[in-house]
């Protein structure tokens, strides 16, 4: 599987501009890299996150996002892990990821389950209540959103259900990028899986976001990365045969001691 991760600088509280720019970047990634899968960052439709007029700015029922991703995935013959968007229903606002197949079919949706209380995300958004696993071109994949990466039990639950590629979409600030680098590498190594990170860049309010998007092997090796804080697209090939080799040589899953864990 060939994957392109888009590092996007979204315009704060400007959905029209962001939908236009997201389409441009998806088209650019496909034209220049011919990937099987394209990935966007967290809350790319609004940035993270406008407290004023949040509901009115949100994507109602996710309809605008779903229409865009369905159309592009089918037209360009590419899988799209659509980062996440701020979307709403009649009463709630959620931080939601949509995943589309090459044929324009919605494969999965995921509402962020761990809301970032230090920035009051939990006061404005409703929590999700399920994990998200899906299959892209025969490969079992999953997606989590930003703060979720700090909860290893979530990722291990997904790995135990057969996940081989984890997509992490985020709005991670520059000041804590060292944490992001450590956490993504740990999740990849401990679960013996590929990890694809799409982080935002640019500034929203007083927060500078850190970029540093990367693609990691199951050994924790960096296959592609961008060290800057500018818009960028990185691409790497994921060799699924590597996973079985690693799990056969160091089989952490069979050596687990579930009977003594109390989580």
Q: Hey, which residues are catalytic here?
A: 42, 112, 146
Sheet holding 139-145, edge to edge: 133-136, 139-145, 165-170, 194-199, 214-216, 222-225
Tokens of residue 249, six digits: 């040589």
Task: Please say whether the beta carbons of 169 and 97 come within 8 A.
Answer: yes
The CA-based diameter of the chain, rounded to the nearest angstrom, is 53
Number of H helices and E strands in the chain, helices first, is 7, 16
HSE-up (13 A, CA, CB side) for residue 116? 16
User: Residue 178 CB: number of other CB atoms within 10 A?
Assistant: 10
Pairwise CA distance, residues 216 & 125, whole Å: 30
Strand-pair category, 214-216 with 194-199:
antiparallel
- Based on the number of CB atoms within 10 Å of its own CB, is 80 exposed (0-12), middle (13-18) or buried (19 or more)? buried
Strand-pair category, 201-204 with 207-210:
antiparallel
The Cα-based distances of 95 to 87, 255, 263 in angstroms read 6, 36, 26
């Amino acid at each position: 599987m060939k994957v392109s991760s888009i590092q996007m600088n979204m315009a704060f509280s400007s959905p029209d501009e962001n939908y236009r720019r997201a389409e441009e970047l998806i088209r650019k990634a496909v034209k220049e890299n011919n990937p099987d899968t394209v990935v966007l960052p967290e809350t790319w439709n609004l940035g993270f996150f406008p407290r004023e007029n949040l509901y009115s700015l949100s994507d109602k029922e996710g309809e605008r996002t779903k229409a865009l991703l369905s159309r592009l995935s089918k037209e360009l013959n590419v899988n799209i892990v659509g980062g996440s968007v701020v979307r709403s229903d009649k009463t709630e606002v959620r931080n939601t990821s949509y995943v589309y197949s090459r044929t324009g079919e919605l494969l999965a949706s995921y509402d962020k389950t761990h809301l970032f209380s230090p920035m009051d995300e939990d006061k404005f958004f409703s929590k999700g209540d399920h994990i998200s696993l899906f299959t892209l071109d025969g490969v079992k994949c999953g997606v989590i959103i930003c703060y979720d990466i700090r909860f290893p039990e979530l990722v291990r639950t997904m790995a135990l259900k057969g996940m081989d590629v984890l997509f992490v979409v985020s709005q991670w600030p520059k000041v804590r990028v060292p944490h992001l680098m450590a956490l993504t590498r740990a999740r990849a190594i401990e679960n013996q899986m590929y990890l694809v990170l799409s982080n935002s860049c640019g500034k929203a309010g007083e927060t500078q976001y850190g970029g540093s998007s990367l693609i990691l092997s199951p050994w924790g090796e960096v296959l592609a990365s961008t060290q800057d804080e500018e818009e960028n697209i990185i691409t790497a090939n994921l060799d699924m045969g590597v996973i079985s080799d690693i799990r056969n040589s160091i089989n952490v899953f069979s050596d687990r001691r579930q009977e003594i864990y109390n989580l």
